[in-house]
């Protein structure tokens, strides 16, 4: 036995040394196995870690702001409910004069020299007022006045002669009386022709009577025509009749001298333009669309869909809201060969204000020809959606977010964007946003940047948050 033990001692020593060397060599394989936990311990650790991640994620989806920060950002909230939104086609447009109704030129009816100018560009005039006084230089009109005076005197002499011959009827041949009567008829026809020519040249009936008496007209007054307000061209909108005693009659239609074509002392010819009068009460909105958008506009005309017009007015303009309903009344059948677009028009009834200063009256129109507008043509109807301002939605890559408010706490909600234009963003009602939620109406991008840069629970120093989301100052801070 002693011999056996003596023999095994060296073998055991060598085996233990080999085992130690093997354990050291294969330590990378057996050491990770020693760190493994039991299944129950693994599940509990995973649950704790998941709960911590969820809590951290929930903290990262909200941001707490003080009342001063909310005021500085100018945050406004609104309770949002699903509504109907029209997907539109954005088309550029311009306000233009309505042909034959907005402008009218005043021409010179005679050859002459401009002797007097009573109004200048920017002045307002009314029908019947004198625009210009022209010294007549036309030899034809001078001769016409002379002939009118002569024939008027001749017809008076012929009438006296006829009366004298009729008193001696029977002593003279009847043919002489008939001859005098025919002469009177010829003179009457000639006088009527002269009067018609002078009336067409702008002479009045009172002036014709003066010419017949020998008082020739040397200066002709050019009046503001009143035919612009006839034929329904410049009808005022219907106003309910008032039964009170303080009802006032409608003010006469006023026109503006838009442009003067002649100067004082300038010689003009018959038919030459003197000035341009304008009344911008009835205007038109002209839009331009491409050929491939024809079907969309034709459908809008067929369905009688109104067009939304953005006049790009400032909020401080103090004009009332536009209550007109704009419908496409005309689609051009000609494509412009230069810009490859076609025109369509809608009627626009303008508004004005009268400004009186130093005895002068000026008409200030709300809309002016040449003013640019944006037109929204209805294309598709989207029902049961949320419509928010454009800056109420923040984008972060493919994700889109809105912020809801609970007192001082703002929560970020992921949403799905269906449509977006210059003013609105349309959100799907898929449950991500609860109807009636108080959604922040702007500064969403700034709130999203603040949320990403925060640690998830950044309370202002010296404040604490209540369960209802309100922020309160620590009582100890005020002592």
The whole-angstrom separation of Cα 239 and Cα 249 is 11
- What pLDDT score was predicted for residue 170? 67
Residue 253 contacts residue 126 (beta carbons within 8 Å):
yes
List pLDDT tens digits, range 381-403: 889 999 999 899 999 888 999 99
- What pLDDT score was predicted for residue 133? 92
Q: Decide which of 93 and 2 is more confident.
A: 93
- What pLDDT score was predicted for residue 159? 86
- What pLDDT score was predicted for residue 400? 92
Is the pLDDT score of 443 beyond 90?
no
Is the pLDDT score of 238 beyond 70?
no
- What pLDDT score was predicted for residue 135? 93
List pLDDT tens digits, range 299-346: 999 999 999 999 888 776 788 888 899 999 999 999 999 989 999 999
Average pLDDT of the segment spanning 203-230: 83
The whole-angstrom separation of Cα 108 and Cα 202 is 9
* pTM, entire model: 0.63
- What pLDDT score was predicted for residue 234? 43
Residue 176 contacts residue 165 (beta carbons within 8 Å):
yes
**Average pLDDT of the chain?**
80
Residue 391 contacts residue 445 (beta carbons within 8 Å):
yes
List pLDDT tens digits, range 52-110: 444 444 446 788 888 888 888 888 898 989 999 988 888 999 999 887 778 888 999 99
């Amino acid at each position: 036995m002693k011999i056996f033990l003596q023999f095994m001692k060296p073998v055991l020593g060598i085996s233990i040394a080999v085992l130690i060397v093997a354990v050291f060599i294969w330590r990378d394989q057996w050491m990770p196995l020693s760190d493994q936990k039991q299944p129950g311990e693994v599940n509990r650790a995973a649950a704790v870690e998941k709960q911590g991640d969820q809590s951290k994620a929930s903290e990262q989806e909200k941001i707490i702001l003080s009342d001063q920060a909310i005021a500085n950002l100018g945050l406004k909230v609104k309770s949002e409910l699903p509504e109907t939104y029209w997907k539109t086609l954005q088309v550029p447009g311009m306000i233009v004069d309505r042909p034959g109704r907005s402008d009218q030129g005043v021409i010179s009816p005679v050859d002459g020299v401009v002797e007097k100018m009573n109004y200048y560009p920017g002045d307002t005039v009314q029908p019947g007022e004198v625009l210009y006084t022209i010294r007549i230089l036309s030899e034809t009109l001078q001769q016409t006045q002379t002939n009118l005076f002569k024939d008027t005197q001749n017809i008076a002499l012929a009438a006296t002669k006829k009366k004298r011959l009729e008193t001696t009827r029977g002593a003279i041949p009847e043919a002489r009386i008939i001859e005098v009567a025919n002469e009177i008829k010829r003179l009457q026809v000639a006088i009527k022709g002269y009067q018609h020519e002078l009336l067409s040249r702008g002479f009045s009936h009172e002036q014709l009577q003066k010419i017949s008496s020998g008082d020739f007209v040397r200066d002709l007054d050019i009046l503001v025509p009143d035919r612009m307000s006839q034929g329904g061209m410049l009808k005022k909108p219907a106003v309910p009749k008032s039964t009170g005693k303080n009802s006032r009659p409608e003010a006469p239609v006023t026109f503006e001298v838009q442009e003067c074509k002649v100067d004082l002392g300038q010689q003009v010819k018959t038919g030459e333009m003197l000035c341009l009068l304008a009344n911008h009460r009835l205007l038109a909105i002209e839009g331009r669309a491409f050929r491939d958008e024809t079907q969309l506009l034709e459908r809008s005309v067929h369905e009688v869909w109104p067009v939304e017009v953005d006049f790009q007015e400032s909020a401080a303009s103090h004009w009332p809201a536009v209550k007109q309903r704009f419908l496409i009344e005309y689609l051009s059948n000609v494509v412009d060969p230069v810009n490859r677009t076609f025109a369509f028009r809608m009627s626009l009834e303008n508004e004005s204000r009268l400004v009186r200063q130093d005895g002068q009256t000026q008409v200030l129109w709300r809309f002016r020809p040449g003013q640019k507008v944006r037109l929204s043509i209805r294309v598709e109807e989207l029902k049961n959606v949320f419509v928010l301002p454009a800056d109420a939605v923040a984008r972060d890559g493919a994700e889109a977010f809105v912020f809801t408010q609970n007192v001082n706490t703002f929560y970020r909600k992921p949403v799905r964007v269906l449509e977006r234009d210059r003013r609105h963003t349309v959100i799907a009602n898929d449950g991500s946003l609860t109807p009636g939620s108080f959604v922040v109406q702007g500064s969403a991008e700034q709130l999203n940047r603040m949320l990403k840069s925060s640690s998830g629970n950044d309370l202002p120093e010296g404040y604490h948050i209540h369960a209802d989301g309100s922020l309160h100052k620590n009582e100890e801070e005020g002592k």
